[in-house]
Amino acid sequence: MSTFDIFLQQLVNGLLLGSFYSLIALGYSMVYGIIKLLNFAHGDIYMAGAFVGLIALSFVSGIVGAGWLGILISMVFSMIAVGLLGVLIQRAAYRPLLNAPRLSILITAIGVSLVLYNSVMVLTDGEFKAFTTDLGFAGVGLGNVHITYTQIILVLATAALMISLNLFISKTKYGKAMRAIALDKDACRLMGINVNKIIAITFFIGSALAAAAGIMAGVYYGSIHFFMGFVLGLKAFTAAVIGGIGSIPGAMIGGLVLGLLEAAGTQLPFIGSEWKDVFAFSILILLLVFKPTGILGKTETERM
Amino acid sequence: MSKKYFGLVALVLLLSLTLFGCGGQQAEEQPGGNEGQAEEINYDGEIKIGLMIPLTGSEATYGKDMENAMKMAADEINAEGGILGKKLVTISGDTAADPQQSTSAATKLVSSGVVSVVGGYSSGATLPTLNVFADANIPQVIPVANSTKIIDENPGNAIQINGTGFHQAEKALELFEGIWDVEKLAIVHQGDGYSEDLAKLTKEAWEEAGHEVVAFEVINKGEQDFSSLVTSIKSKNPDAVYWTAYYADGALLIKQLRQGGFQGEIAVGDGSNSPKLMEIAGNAAEGVVCTSNPMVEYLPAAKEFMENYKANYNQDPGPYSSLAYDGMHLMKDAIERAGSTDGDAIIKALKETEGFQGISGETTIADNNALANSNFVLLEAKGGQWKLIE
């Protein structure tokens, strides 16, 4: 492989990994934007999405097979189910604490995270579950660069989800309400906006996006387990911070930047893959030192 | 009021469950079959052999497997007339796989007058007991402790019959040089003590043999995306990739290597010898070779043992029972070769073990009191199953 091939291939790798980060980072950013909560259970929502997707797929595959149609159906099912789970969590664990000190609700989020992954651990005996699909390794080759159709479709699906989200937030009444709540919750309430309902919608969308990422990860990597949300959740949170937490385009860019940095770190000459995270996170620290609000964050910004 | 009552009922239920559970367990601990057979043969006294295994704690399942296997071996030996005409009696010492517990278990065995000891599971729990037995001049066969530290600290009364990292690296070299004709090797580990150790030993051995290690990489536990690493490995053009850690991440790596268009050979270490590797990696695992410790499922010689074990205990023998079983038979063999129950004589016989045929392979003891030849085997993934390469 020539240096240019390697560069191109790593670019593809980084973009794909980054798009997973972005999808999950969106959920962090939206929730933070609207109720100033760092929802640390979000990574586990992603994990739950993968498991619900696997269950759905095992039912659906008997009828339509485990190809793209089956995956699409289970993905829609998983997004709705996990979206509702997100709303339920918000209703049960976060809403009663909305006016409590920030720290209490943060600890609650960590508690929810523990509950989610421990439940799944018990239910699955802590085992890795194979996510079996009918997708092969076929794809297009540009010289030595190999991109599978699965990769292409996943990136396109991520892009489609993000564009729809952007349209939803900028064009619809609910999107406008979300942006308004991010600015001033109390004023919105006075203006007759049903704040609780909008918060619930925000949780639904964020959780559904994480579920979509979860099932895509299952399809792409081929195995899922109860702890898969932990590392990815942390990375996605980091991505949200790089992009400027609270900013939707920021979360998308932040995810891609982190993905690309990691891919670049793996390819560093002389030191090798052990230093990949050290490299990526050193750059992040530098970035935050010089721009503490993140790439697109502003100190006084409309947060949605 | 009703809440209190509820709590009381729950407590009583819980207590009765615990009591019932304990009762059941105690009953299970008496393996049947021993008495009936023993009556018919006239033994000339008894030989006590101590078993060092974890019967409580996190490793208890494996300890129980090993105890079952060793008791089964003892029953077989007794049915054939015992050792030197004496009846073999086993005494279990519970190590709990913990250094302190195992030291007291060892002391207990010494004071109950055992002639020799078979056992030792996990290196951490085995190391502190070495001197306890050495001081009492009691011979020991260690079946499941693979740290190379045991070789260094062995006072001379014990032999180690399981392979160590050295042996696995040796087997890997046999595969790369003899079967695959590899020149450039990439090694990937997971940063934990075990897989890093194996990776380093393999790297040293490979370079000593005059070949090249083009990539020596690590994967973070819990990550799923290794595509960048795959690209980096591919760019160095290795003929083979050797993964030294466990099956779950190994399966992901194999899948992504094939997805990324890597066409060389792939080998995995014994941490990956689970059938789950093939379940997760699917077709990508086809043709992957594993340098595995001798697992009974894949050993033709162990077929009878498998069946007997299942018939006796109604469960699978587990990964370590075959070595424990071999250890017991080897001890019998050594005592008979020594012709007496004298500690020095048995130790000498144990050290002179050469070509002992067990179910997990042949055992020959080298000068360092460990295995002379690797007892690791090569398994190839074929049609979703591991198949032994003869």
Question: Between vectors from CA B260 to CA B257 and to CA B262, what angle results, nearest 5°?
Answer: 60
Mean pLDDT for all residues in chain B: 85
Is A231 in CB contact (< 8 Å) with chain B?
A: yes
Question: What distance in Å separates the CA atoms of residue A86 and residue B102, rounded to the nearest whole number?
Answer: 49
Q: Tokens standing for B373?
A: 């030849």
pLDDT confidence of residue B375: 83
pTM greater than 0.80 (yes/no): no
Distance from CA of B190 to the nearest CA of A (A): 10
pLDDT confidence of residue A151: 87
**B23 pLDDT more than 50:** no
Using one digit for the tens of pLDDT, what is the confidence trace for A284-299?
Answer: 888 888 888 888 876 5
Question: What distance in Å separates the CA atoms of residue A190 and residue B205, rounded to the nearest whole number?
Answer: 75
Question: In a 3-state reduction of DSSP, which class is residue A32?
Answer: helix
* B156 CB-near residues (< 8 Å, 6+ apart): B134, B347, B369
Q: Tokens standing for B303?
A: 């077929």
Task: Look at residues A294, A289, A211, A187 and name the one whose alpha carbon lies nearest to residue A247.
Answer: A294
Cβ-based neighbour number of residue B101 at 10 Å: 17
**Pseudo-torsion of CA A239, A240, A242, A247, nearest 10°?**
140
Compute CA distances B78 → B42, B54, B84, B310, whole Å.
10, 24, 11, 20
Question: What distance in Å separates the CA atoms of residue B67 and residue A115, rounded to the nearest whole number?
Answer: 37
- Per-residue pLDDT averaged across B190-196, rounded? 80
**A70 pLDDT more than 50:** yes
Partner-chain contact B255 A231, CB within 8 Å = no
Pairing verdict, β A223-224 and A129-130: antiparallel
Provide the CATH number for the domain formed by B46-163+297-373 in this structure.
3.40.50.2300
Q: Is the ipTM of this complex over 0.85?
A: no
Partner-chain contact A273 B229, CB within 8 Å = yes
pLDDT confidence of residue A171: 93
- Per-residue pLDDT averaged across A209-215, rounded? 95
Is A146 in CB contact (< 8 Å) with chain B?
A: yes
Q: How far from the centroid of its chain's Cα atoms is residue A48's Cα? A: 12
* A259 CB-near residues (< 8 Å, 6+ apart): A13, A14, A15, A16, A17, A18, A19, A20, A21
Query: How many helices (H) and strands (E) are present in chain B, helices listed first?
Result: 15, 14
**A199 pLDDT more than 90:** yes
Q: Which residue has the higher pLDDT, A24 or B8?
A: A24
Using one digit for the tens of pLDDT, what is the confidence trace for B344-380?
Answer: 999 999 999 999 999 988 899 998 898 888 888 899 9
Residue A272 — pLDDT band, cuts 50, 70, 90?
Answer: low
**B6 pLDDT more than 60:** no
Question: In a 3-state reduction of DSSP, which class is residue B182?
Answer: coil
Partner-chain contact A231 B220, CB within 8 Å = yes
Distance from CA of A213 to the nearest CA of B (A): 13
**B41 pLDDT more than 90:** no
**A264 pLDDT more than 90:** no
Question: What distance in Å separates the CA atoms of residue A260 and residue A264, rounded to the nearest whole number?
Answer: 6
Helix H segments across chain B?
2-28, 34-40, 60-79, 99-111, 123-126, 130-135, 149-153, 165-173, 193-208, 227-235, 247-259, 276-281, 303-313, 321-338, 343-351
Is B231 in CB contact (< 8 Å) with chain A?
A: yes
pLDDT confidence of residue A86: 96
Q: Which of B195, B214, B231, B272 is most worth mutating to test chain A (most A CB atoms within 10 A of its CB)? A: B231
Using one digit for the tens of pLDDT, what is the confidence trace for A78-134?
Answer: 999 999 999 999 999 999 998 888 899 999 999 999 999 899 988 887 778 888 887
Partner-chain contact B228 A17, CB within 8 Å = yes
Q: Cβ(A251)–Cβ(A240) under 8 Å?
A: yes
Compute CA distances A162 → A203, A253, B261, B310, B318, whole Å.
16, 11, 30, 56, 49
Compare CB distances from B228 to A10, A223, A225 and report the shortest one's residue.
A10
Compare all CA atoms of chain A with the CA of B253 and give the residue at the minimum distance: A221
Q: Measured between beta carbons, which residues in chain B are less than 8 angstroms from residue A17? A: 225, 227-228
Angle between helices B193-208 and B165-173 (to 10 degrees): 50
Q: Which CATH class is domain B166-292?
A: alpha beta
Using one digit for the tens of pLDDT, what is the confidence trace for A221-233?
Answer: 888 988 889 888 9
- Per-residue pLDDT averaged across B87-93, rounded? 94
Is B229 in CB contact (< 8 Å) with chain A?
A: yes
- Per-residue pLDDT averaged across B18-24, rounded? 42
- Per-residue pLDDT averaged across A21-37, rounded? 91
Domain B46-163+297-373 shares a fold with domain B166-292: yes
Q: Cβ(B120)–Cβ(B335) under 8 Å?
A: no
- Per-residue pLDDT averaged across B141-164, rounded? 88
pLDDT confidence of residue B24: 37
Partner-chain contact A148 B259, CB within 8 Å = yes
Q: Measured between beta carbons, which residues in chain A are less than 8 angstroms from residue B215? A: 272
pLDDT confidence of residue B21: 42
Q: Measured between beta carbons, which residues in chain B are less than 8 angstroms from residue A281? A: none
Residue spans of the domains in chain B: they are 46-163+297-373, 166-292
